[in-house]
């Protein structure tokens, strides 16, 4: 049982839901990335997602794309990210998962990536550009390493394909709330509840919902049907203010924003 499995087992037993923040590694630098991870966990987030910068992301909106561009312009390397995680992740009371392109994993070496990521304290990987039909080799390597391989299901995924994806997923399913790109939205599609309910009939895995979630009202809407809620662009946008604001100010604003969302989850639970 991986650390992600243990986390969601514990959350389900106590009727709690996870807030999963996403941030970009190396924007504006890795020292700040480490500081934000610590702030997120100390604020109460039980799991965090770290984006590995990539030049051609397939589903990220302008805010996250811009953060990747800034990190890559500073020549942030995968080895540097893993080194930072190696000194940061083991001290955190929350699993870390990476959002990473398969192109990066393949170029680094699949077995090498999984081994080094796990040695650095990473609990699993979300690989958005890996088709389920081609996921077998990575799935087997992850299984042997007890390293979660998290895959995505979208509103347009046919039911039979969604079932195949669920069968090749460990840790949790990342359910994409909208047929589009990441980014903050004022409203979410009305069919989310129906789609997630249908997906629950096909799998017992935890389901975490991402894309577009940024407001307390989103959290209150989705907490009853989700095991976890993923928030990214709203946090990445705040991190981009470093320079215009001090690092200490941005950290406090991030902490306050996350605590507001966590309070919305707790109120929904009651």
Which pLDDT does position 243 carry in this prediction?
A: 93
d(CA 85, CA 100): 15
**Among this protein's residues, is 60 annotated catalytic?**
yes
Which pLDDT does position 38 carry in this prediction?
A: 98
| CATH topology classification for 3-150+214-269 | TIM Barrel (3.20.20)
**Among this protein's residues, is 217 annotated catalytic?**
no
Which pLDDT does position 186 carry in this prediction?
A: 55
> Per-domain residue ranges for the chain?
3-150+214-269
Selected catalytic residue, list 27, 49, 116, 227:
49
Selected catalytic residue, list 5, 29, 60, 116:
60
Tens of pLDDT along the chain (270 residues)?
789 999 999 999 999 999 999 999 999 999 999 999 999 999 999 999 999 999 876 766 789 999 999 999 999 999 999 999 999 999 999 999 999 999 999 999 999 999 999 999 999 999 999 999 999 999 999 999 999 999 999 988 998 999 999 999 999 999 998 665 554 555 666 778 888 988 998 899 999 999 878 889 888 888 999 999 999 889 999 999 999 999 999 999 999 999 999 999 886 554
111 burial via Cβ count (<10 Å: 0-12, 13-18, 19+):
middle
Which pLDDT does position 88 carry in this prediction?
A: 97
């Amino acid at each position: 049982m991986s650390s992600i499995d243990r986390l969601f087992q514990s959350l389900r037993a106590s009727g709690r839901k996870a807030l999963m923040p996403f941030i970009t590694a190396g924007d504006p630098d890795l020292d700040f990335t480490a500081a934000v991870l610590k702030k997120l966990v100390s604020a109460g987030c039980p799991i965090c997602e770290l984006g590995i910068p990539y030049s051609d992301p397939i589903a990220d909106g302008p805010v996250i794309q811009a953060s990747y561009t800034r990190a890559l312009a500073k020549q942030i390397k995968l080895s540097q990210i893993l080194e930072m995680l190696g000194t940061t992740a083991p001290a955190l009371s929350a699993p870390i998962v990476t959002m990473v392109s398969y192109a990066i994993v393949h170029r680094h070496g699949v077995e090498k990536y999984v081994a080094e990521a796990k040695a650095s304290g990473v609990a699993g990987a979300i690989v958005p550009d890996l088709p389920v039909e081609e996921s077998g080799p990575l799935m087997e390597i992850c299984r042997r390493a007890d390293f979660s391989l998290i895959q995505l299901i979208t509103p347009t995924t046919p039911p039979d394909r969604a079932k195949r994806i669920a069968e090749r997923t460990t840790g949790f399913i990342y359910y994409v709330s909208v047929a589009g790109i990441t980014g903050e939205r004022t409203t979410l599609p009305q069919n989310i509840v129906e789609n997630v309910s249908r997906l629950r009939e096909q799998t017992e895995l935890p389901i975490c919902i991402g894309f577009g979630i940024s407001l307390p009202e989103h959290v209150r809407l989705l907490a009853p049907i989700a095991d976890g809620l993923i928030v990214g662009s709203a946090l990445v946008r705040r991190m981009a203010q470093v320079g215009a604001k001090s690092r200490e100010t941005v950290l406090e604003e991030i902490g306050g924003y996350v605590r507001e969302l966590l309070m919305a989850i707790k109120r929904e639970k009651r």
